[in-house]
Structure 1
Amino acid sequence: MSGLLTEVWDKARAGRIEKDEYARLSEALEAVRDRNDIAWMQAWIVLHCATRNKAFATQRLIARLSRVSRKAGQEAEYYAFLRLVEDDLGFYLPNGSAFTESFRGADVDAVMADCRVLAARMAELGLEVFANSGTLLGLVREGKLLDYDNDIDLGVLLAARNEADAAQEWIALCDRLITEGVGVERSTWSGVTLKLNKIGPFGVDLFPAWIDETERVFVYPHTFGTLTSAQVLPFSHHAGTGLGMPSDAEAMLASNYGDSWRVPNEGWTFGWKEANARFAGFLDAVKV
C-alpha cells in the first residue's frame, strides 16, 4: 500500500489530477481502505482536496483522523498535516458541501468589521442578530472566527411563540430582507437558511429561532427545545463583530456540538438527518 500512498502524494504535489487519474487512484485507495490507518486517511483526504471531490465524505474523514490522531498521541502531527494541505499544497479544506477559502488566510479583522456593519443594518430593520453555530463557537472558544471555517452563521429571534407561527414569520422575514437588499435567496439545499450578501468571498447564513410559550428555545437546526429563554436572553454583544451573544453561550454550543465543543475538530460534521427529523413540521411549513 505504501507505493500507492506515495503515488497519491506525488500526483497531488504535481498539480492538476485529471478525471480518469482521480478515478483510478480513488478506486485503488478504496481497495485497501483502512479507516484506522493514519497514512491511508491522509492520502485519501489529500486526493479529494486536490480534486475537490466528495466534500462531505472528506470532512467526515478529517474528523475521524482528528480522533485517531488524538488517541495515538499525534495531535501535533494532525495539525501539521492540515497546514501542509492548506499552506504548502494550496488546497482548500472541505466545509459542508464545498471546498472553499477559510478564514485562516483572510483579514479576519476586516471580516469582523463587516459583521459590525451588517449587525447595525439589521438593527436598523428592527432585528437583532446573534452569533450562531461555527461563528459562535469561534468567538467563544478562540476569541475570533475559526481558522478553518468558511462562512458567517447568524441567528435571528422571531416574535412567534409556536412552530406554525414561526414558519409563517420566517417566510415573511426572508421576503422582506430580500426586498431590502440584505438577503439574496433562501438556500436551495436546506430550504430554510436565508443567504445574505457575502462578506468578501465568505457566505453569510441567517437561521431562524423562536421561544415557545413554555419558554423553550428552538434554533434551526441544532436546538429543539433543549435550552430555556434564560439561557439565551438577554443577549450581550461581542465587541469585535457587534453580534448578539446568548446569555449562556456555552449551553448553546453544547446543544449544537455536544459536550466536546471545547476540543477543536476541523472535520466535525453536523447530524442533519436527525435534526431535520426533529424540525420536520417546521420544514414542511416553510417549503418554497
Structure 2
Amino acid sequence: MIQTAPYNETTSEALMALRDAALAHLSGDPVAYDAVGAVAALDALDLSAAAAASPLALEAFAAVVIARGRRPRRAQKPLYRLFQARLAAGEQPAYFEFADRISAAAEHGFSLEGVIFNRPLTDVDQPQLWRDTQAALAAVAEVFGPAFLNSGTLLGAVREGRFIDHDDDVDIAVLMPATSAEDAAQQWAAGIATLIARGVVEKRARRNLGMFKLNSTSGVNIDVFPAWIVDDRLYLYPHTSGELSRDDLLPLAACKTTGLPIPRNAEGMLVVNYGPGWRKPDPGFAFAWAAANKKFADFRTALDKAGQS
C-alpha cells in the first residue's frame, strides 16, 4: 500500500511558515508578529487527527502557543507527543534541537510555566534513578499501602533488567484496601491530600486525577497510579480492569535485577497492559487512554466527586 502524507504541500508550507515565524519571535526577532493571527491561521487549517499528530504540526502548535504568551502550559501535550514521535522515528536530535529553541525563549521574556522538556532515561544516572524509585515506593506505601513497579518501568525491569531506552518517566502503583471503585476514589483523594500536606506532592491542576507525579533527584517524573481489589479481581488504573486476580498481584515478588517489588505474576500484567507481544520492544507504542477511561468510568466519576468534596 502506498503511504500518503497526512496533509498536502500547501498545508505543509503553511505549517512551516507558522512554526518558523513563531520561533523567530521567540528568539527575539524585532519583526512585528501577529500572535493572535497566528493562532487563528493554525485553527483555520482544520487539520485531521493524523495531520495534527505529525511532528511538523506539533512543532507549529507548540511554537505558536508559547509565542502568544498566554497559557504556555497548552504546549505541554504537543511537546510530549513530539518527543514520542521523534523517539519512535529515531529522530531524537530533531526533538532536542526544537526543544532547545523553545527553552531559549525564556531568555527573551516568554513564560514557560508548566512546560517540561522530556529526555530519554538513557541520558539519566540510572542507579540514582532506581534509588529515587525505591524512595518513592516507600513514601507512597506509607500512605496508601503496598507499592510496586508498574507499566513501562515494570516492562523494562522484567524484559531488559533496566529502564527502557525510549521511556521518559518512571511508573509505580499502590494497592489500596478499597473494595469498590467509590472506596478507591475516596482513599486515593485522601492519600493525595496527605502527600500534599507533607510537601511530597505539589498541589496540581485538575487534569487526570487518576494519577499524580513525584519529583526525583534525577529530574525525572515518577508517575503513581492506584490499584484495588474487588471480589478477588484486580483493578489497576488505567490498564487492568478485572483481567487479573488477587493472586496475580500478591504476595509481591522482588525484581531479579533491581530487588524492587513487582506483581507476583508480572508477565501476566504485562500481557494485559501491552498485549501478548510485550517481549518485543516497540518505541511507537501508544496507550489507548480513551478506551481505558471508559473501562474505569465508575472510578473516574467517583474521583470527580471526591475532588470536589
Note the alpha carbon deviations across 1:66-120, whole angstroms, 9 max, x for none: 6xxxxxxxxxxx54xx354367x4759xxxx965122121111111122122333
Amino acid at match of 1:145: F
Amino acid at match of 1:147: D
CA distance change for structure 1 residues 170 and 47 in 2, over 3 Å: closer, same or farther?
closer
The answer to whether the 8 Å contact 1:185/1:196 transfers is no
Is the partner of 2:94 in helix, strand or coil? Answer: helix
CA distance change for structure 1 residues 187 and 140 in 2, over 3 Å: closer, same or farther?
farther
The answer to whether the 8 Å contact 2:211/2:224 transfers is yes
Alignment of 1:2-151 (within 5 A): 44-45=54-55, 48=58, 52=62, 55=78, 58=81, 62=85, 78-79=89-90, 82-85=91-94, 89=97, 99-124=117-142, 127-151=145-169
Match of 2:270 among 244, 253, 271: 253
Note the alpha carbon deviations across 1:229-258, whole angstroms, 9 max, x for none: 121111112366553201111111111122
Hey, which of these two has a bigger chunk of strand by percent? 1
Question: Offset of 1:160 from its aligned partner?
Answer: 1.2
CA distance change for structure 1 residues 240 and 120 in 2, over 3 Å: closer, same or farther?
farther
Paired with 1:192 and 1:222, the residues of 2 have a C-alpha distance of 12
State the aligned residue count: 262
Amino acid at match of 1:286: L
Question: Offset of 1:277 from its aligned partner?
Answer: 1.1
Paired with 2:95 and 2:212, the residues of 1 have a C-alpha distance of 29
Q: Which runs of 5+ in 2 are unaligned?
A: 1-7, 26-32, 63-74, 101-114
CA RMSD in angstroms comes to 4.2
Structure 2 counterpart of 1:162: 180
- Greater RCO, CA 8 A, separation 6+: 1
Identity among equivalent pairs (%)? 33
Paired with 1:187 and 1:236, the residues of 2 have a C-alpha distance of 35
Is the partner of 1:202 in helix, strand or coil? Answer: coil
The answer to whether the 8 Å contact 1:59/1:268 transfers is no
Q: Which runs of 5+ in 1 are unaligned?
A: 67-77
Paired with 1:242 and 1:49, the residues of 2 have a C-alpha distance of 40
The answer to whether the 8 Å contact 1:131/1:243 transfers is yes
